[in-house]
Structure 1
Amino acid sequence: MTTPWRRVPADLAAAMRPRLPATVQAIAEAVAEANPAAAETSTAKFDRDVRTAVQVALERFLDLAGTDEPALPPRIREVFVALGAGEARENHGPELLLGALRTAARLLLRAASQSLAESRPVTVDEIIDLSDATSAFVDELASACTDGLARQLREQAGEGDRRRRRAADLLLRGGAPADVAREAVAAIGWPALDRVVPVLLPADQARDARFRFAADGVVAERARDAVLLLRSGPRTERPALAEALAGREAVVGPSLPWPEAPEAVRLAERAAELIASRTAASGADPRRSPAPIFVEDHFAALALRGEPGALAALSSQRLSALDGLRPAQREQLLVTLESWLRHWGSRAAVAAELYVHPQTVSYRLNRLRDLLGPDLDDPTARFELLLVLSQRTPG
């Protein structure tokens, strides 16, 4: 097969080599000028790499003149593969490289034509042949560069996947030292590690979850399902999750401090089992639910089934408004609240049980209303408060 450079005049090399240093300089400078983004981020090493690549490319083009040799033998092709990989490491796309090669092709054709014209008359056919050869040669350079860029991107993606798997495994397994866990999540771009929200999903949704929650979550695939672990933030607010997970058979676990991620996952698993058993018992349609299941809606049922983690989570949920009080004051209000709930709101009965004046009971209940708001009038909240208080150890 005849190559495009077969028709390049054989005397091009002799005519152009004396101009080679100046041509390398001109092309390297033109590449920088034509790509302001590259010029702004360039370093001494980058400039040297560009000059080296230009030098290698021009010398190879001159060696090809009048031959049917392959454009780029392996050792030369690797120079341009490495150039493309370097651009990927700098988070540059292929546009800069391809633009630089277009500039180089134009200047190479100009320099080759002028070199021949200064040594002898040049025909139109020779200019056309030079144009075909430079275009084909630069296409080979572009192919090598984009191969290097693609290879580096695949490698970086693989490393990113490995880091995300490691972070997911550390959180899901539990027991990792704090510095190890924080280093693992820092490696995937999480600015901090505070609370984690687990989401159970069908196994076939793991890939979609990785894509949709790439910046805020990691996914661990298991035999029967997938666990999406989300760092606490705006995307883990209930309305956002309800919208994002609609129709996906998702079970959303509680938001717990990251060392308790295994417990949060276990609660999600127990909630899923609870809902499944209720569905089977009721004979309801087992098809995909339009809304995700939130474990926080089932803390009481799980606690009554003996799940200590559910009781602790329910306690935190219902009594967090009292966390800022002094210990003695908090204990006093909790004792009063438990008695009031057991006596169905009878202040006289509470006063008699606690050996305090009814006005003291009224003062404490007014304080509780300030802290707990409408929970004191909500039947479900009152039941859950009584459940939590009846199981607590006085402190």
Structure 2
Amino acid sequence: MTSTPWERLPADLAGALRPRLPDAVRDIAGAVGEMNPASGAKFERDVHTAVRVALDRFADLAGTGEPALPPRIREVFVALGAAEARENRGPESLLATLRTAARMLLRTASQSLAEVRPVTVDEIIDLSDATSAYVDELAAACTDGLARQLREQAGEGDRRRRQVADLLLRGGAPPDVAREAALGIGWPSLEAVVPVLLPLDQARDARFRFGGDGIVVERGRDAVLLLRSGPRAERAALAEALAGRDAVVGPALGWPEVPEAVRLAERTAELAGTGPDPVFADDHFAALALRGESGALAVLSARRLAPLAGLRAGQRDQLLVTLESWLRHWGSRTAVAAELFVHPQTVSYRLNRLRDLLGDDLDDPRARFELSLVLAYRPSI
């Protein structure tokens, strides 16, 4: 039993193989290029170098018990694997390439011997064993390089995500700095962010569950998931994804307001507690506002009055005065007209306009209460 498969190779293989190496390098590198047509010129150069180094080394190994790849040669293939990872190509294409190279190497070595003398079946078997074992060593080196690069990229990715989390949670970041940092973690835009408070033991699962859409920050007492706006941040999706996880979902606010959104989630947790179903801060703004939480009142005002935001200031103020009076007088147009010193038909016109803008909110008890609250605390017109 010999120590290496290539120790059993015939001594005359190297002499027979070397004249054919330039053509073999060209053919194998060309076949690899055809398998990866979009890889670019640098990949082609790297592959050509790697194939030349690999074939030279295989010829040197014939009849020896040396290890397949000394450090300087192994590093060529470690670097090739790392380059594949940097180009976001996984190991599948790399291993397929090596399998193709192994078949072509076996054919080249067999034909080289056959040109100088007859080749026995045992020699073909030994050649097959040696080429397979040798290419396994090449694959191990490439995979090692790919894994190293992925670990390095993961570490860099974690650092960038921590940077984005710090910018958002601290607040006050210049817009260009925040957006560039967000782009660095794969967020093409930085708009609304939804904070979710979670128990610490849910942090790891949240990282896996939300992937690139969220950033998880562990704070000692709990964890905060910062989720970018999108389908996965919609209420229905969150209600399903966070079921049974004792989560509190803060409001979706613009990225500069993330500290306020997190604080409102914390106040909601203090007010409503947690349970198996996620608690949404949106459901508790009125209660928070009545407890003196100005941030909750500001968000509630912005949302309830958003349909009127596009009106001219004078028209908007007229409608809001009318709406406040109408809510206070339980829908009595006569009382509203008397209070505002306008004709009842004017009240009817304004209410029709309000119904066009606010829709079913005028008939929803909760919405009417929140509108009353918003208007009661609204600065005087």
Give TM-score scaled by structure 2 length. Answer: 0.94
1:246 aligns with 2:246: no
Maintained 8 Å contact 1:168/1:229: yes
For residue 109 of structure 1, report the CA deviation from its aligned partner: 2.0
1:373 is aligned to: 359
Maintained 8 Å contact 1:8/1:129: yes
For residue 334 of structure 1, report the CA deviation from its aligned partner: 1.1
For residue 211 of structure 1, report the CA deviation from its aligned partner: 2.1
What is the rounded CA distance, in whole Å, between the counterparts of 2:72 and 2:231 in structure 1?
51
For residue 233 of structure 1, report the CA deviation from its aligned partner: 2.3
For residue 122 of structure 1, report the CA deviation from its aligned partner: 3.0
Q: 1:335 to 1:112 in 2, by over 3 A?
A: same
For residue 139 of structure 1, report the CA deviation from its aligned partner: 0.9
Q: 1:113 to 1:235 in 2, by over 3 A?
A: closer
Report sequence identity in percent.
78
Q: 1:42 to 1:343 in 2, by over 3 A?
A: closer
Q: Specify the SS of the correspondent of 2:115.
A: helix
1:136 aligns with 2:122: no
Q: Specify the SS of the correspondent of 1:214.
A: helix
What is the rounded CA distance, in whole Å, between the counterparts of 1:208 and 1:122 in structure 2?
59
What is the rounded CA distance, in whole Å, between the counterparts of 1:367 and 1:98 in structure 2?
68
Which 10-residue stretch deviates more, 58-67 or 337-346?
Answer: 337-346
CA-based RMSD of the aligned residues comes to: 1.8
1:283 is aligned to: none
Among 255, 259, 262, the alignment partner of 1:262 is 259
2:341 is aligned to: 355
Q: Specify the SS of the correspondent of 2:198.
A: strand
Which 10-residue stretch deviates more, 168-177 or 261-270?
Answer: 168-177
For residue 254 of structure 1, report the CA deviation from its aligned partner: 1.2
What is the rounded CA distance, in whole Å, between the counterparts of 2:108 and 2:170 in structure 1?
64
1:28 is aligned to: 29
**Alignment size in residue pairs:** 380
What is the rounded CA distance, in whole Å, between the counterparts of 2:185 and 2:92 in structure 1?
26
Structure 1 residues not aligned, in runs of 5+: 277-285
Structure 2 residues not aligned, in runs of 5+: none
Q: Specify the SS of the correspondent of 1:10.
A: coil
Post-superposition Cα deviations, 1:72-120, rounded to whole Å, max 9, x if no partner, equal 1111000111111111112222222222222222222222222223333
Post-superposition Cα deviations, 1:148-167, rounded to whole Å, max 9, x if no partner, equal 11211222222222222221
Q: Specify the SS of the correspondent of 1:41.
A: coil
1:331 is aligned to: 317
1:175 aligns with 2:172: yes
Q: 1:325 to 1:63 in 2, by over 3 A?
A: same
1:280 is aligned to: none
For residue 333 of structure 1, report the CA deviation from its aligned partner: 1.3
2:295 is aligned to: 309
Which 10-residue stretch deviates more, 9-18 or 251-260?
Answer: 9-18
What is the rounded CA distance, in whole Å, between the counterparts of 1:362 and 1:310 in structure 2?
32
Code of the residue aligned with 2:326 in structure 1: it is W
Q: 1:106 to 1:305 in 2, by over 3 A?
A: same
1:19 is aligned to: 20
Q: Specify the SS of the correspondent of 1:328.
A: helix
For residue 3 of structure 1, report the CA deviation from its aligned partner: 1.1
2:109 is aligned to: 112
What is the rounded CA distance, in whole Å, between the counterparts of 2:367 and 2:114 in structure 1?
93
Post-superposition Cα deviations, 1:43-67, rounded to whole Å, max 9, x if no partner, equal 2222221111111111111111111
Code of the residue aligned with 1:236 in structure 2: it is A
Code of the residue aligned with 1:334 in structure 2: it is L
Alignment of 1:86-125 (within 5 A): 86-125=83-122
1:69 is aligned to: 66
1:210 is aligned to: 207
Post-superposition Cα deviations, 1:136-186, rounded to whole Å, max 9, x if no partner, equal 111111111111112112222222222222212211111100001111111
What is the rounded CA distance, in whole Å, between the counterparts of 1:376 and 1:45 in structure 2?
65
Code of the residue aligned with 1:256 in structure 2: it is L
Q: 1:101 to 1:393 in 2, by over 3 A?
A: same
1:153 is aligned to: 150
What is the rounded CA distance, in whole Å, between the counterparts of 2:365 and 2:44 in structure 1?
73
What is the rounded CA distance, in whole Å, between the counterparts of 2:221 and 2:150 in structure 1?
31
Give TM-score scaled by structure 1 length. Answer: 0.91
1:279 is aligned to: none
